[in-house]
Structure 1
Amino acid sequence: MQRTVKVRVGGQKWNKVVKKWFSEPKHHLVHDPNSSLRTGDVVSIVPGWPTSRRKRHVVKHIIAPFGSSIDERPSIPTLEERIADREAKKVAKDARKVARNASKSTQRTDDNTTMASAKRTAH
């Protein structure tokens, strides 16, 4: 998946038999809006709206880059930028839906008038 990264979040689990904590990391699929992350980066993630079936988090910022510096990469959008982008996409989608429904309704009326005239001529 493009613009998706797999992030490992540390965690521990208690074993009752051995009476010891064992490391048990969790893996999350995280949305990277501008594909600015590289393998080995240490990042901060926040919960976000569901982007796909398994993606529920978004990259907040890069804590420690691995390899090229942060300045050479595309910037990570802020929360306000992500919300504005989502609203713009929603408005565009609503406009497309209205246009599609308008064309369907005109097509239906055209079909109905042709069918009505065909019925009149058949009688």
Structure 2
Amino acid sequence: MPMQRAFKSAAKVAAHASRQINAVVVSSGLMAKTVKYFNATSHLLVHDPNSSLRTGDVISISPGWRTSKTVRHVVSSIIAPFGTPISERPPIPTAEERIAGRERKLMAKDIRKGKWSRWGFEKDPRGVEGGEWYVEGWGKQDVVKPDASVNGEEVRPA
């Protein structure tokens, strides 16, 4: 039974997180993709995935996965923009888009580290031409043929 709880999908966990906090952005643009929200009793740093918030915006935030040591919340939506209209800013990704982006990032990391079998690949996807993860020249080693010198020693090009 405990194993079934451990395998909940990230989408179900994100859908379950229903706590929404309305806040005013106090500082933005100083730390990449992070804004400050101060309340009388709490201080929160909030992850802004596309850097679309400006100081003075009224936003809605929700708990998310830990982005850094002190950033544990993520922007859900902009309630009232301050200054630049919402249409001229980068869009805020939905929870499903954030989860898909995070899984894609983890998959890319596992493929780089050689752990591609975790994601169901039978062989390294970087060498499959026409695939999404294809890398030009992957798996093909350039064979350097030595040139013979006058003394019979091999000379390799530098």
TM-score by length of 2: 0.52
Structure 1 residue aligned with 2:37 = 7
Higher-helix-fraction structure? 1
Structure 2 residue aligned with 1:51 = 67
State the structure with bigger RCO (CA 8 A, min sep 6), 1 or 2.
1
Q: Distance in 1 between matches of 2:84 and 2:46?
A: 21
Q: Distance in 2 between matches of 1:67 and 1:26?
A: 26
Structure 2 residue aligned with 1:113 = none
- Matched to 1:39, the amino acid is T
- Structure 1 residue 25, shift from structure 2 partner: 3.8
- Secondary structure class of the residue paired with 2:113: helix
- Structure 1 residue 3, shift from structure 2 partner: 0.3
- CA distances 1:31-81 after superposition (whole Å, capped 9, x unpaired): 000000000000000000000000000000000000011000000000000
Structure 2 residue aligned with 1:84 = 100
- What residue ranges of structure 2 are gaps of 5+ in the alignment? 1-30, 116-158
- Secondary structure class of the residue paired with 1:94: helix
Please identify the structure whose Cα radius of gyration is greater: 1
1:94 aligns with 2:110: yes
- Structure 1 residue 8, shift from structure 2 partner: 2.2
Identity score, percent: 66
- Matched to 2:33, the amino acid is R
How does 1:1-123 map onto structure 2 within 5 Å? 1-9=31-39, 24-98=40-114
In the alignment of these two chains, the number of paired residues is 86
- Structure 1 residue 98, shift from structure 2 partner: 0.7
Q: Distance in 1 between matches of 2:42 and 2:55?
A: 17
How large is the RMSD of aligned CA atoms in angstroms? 1.5
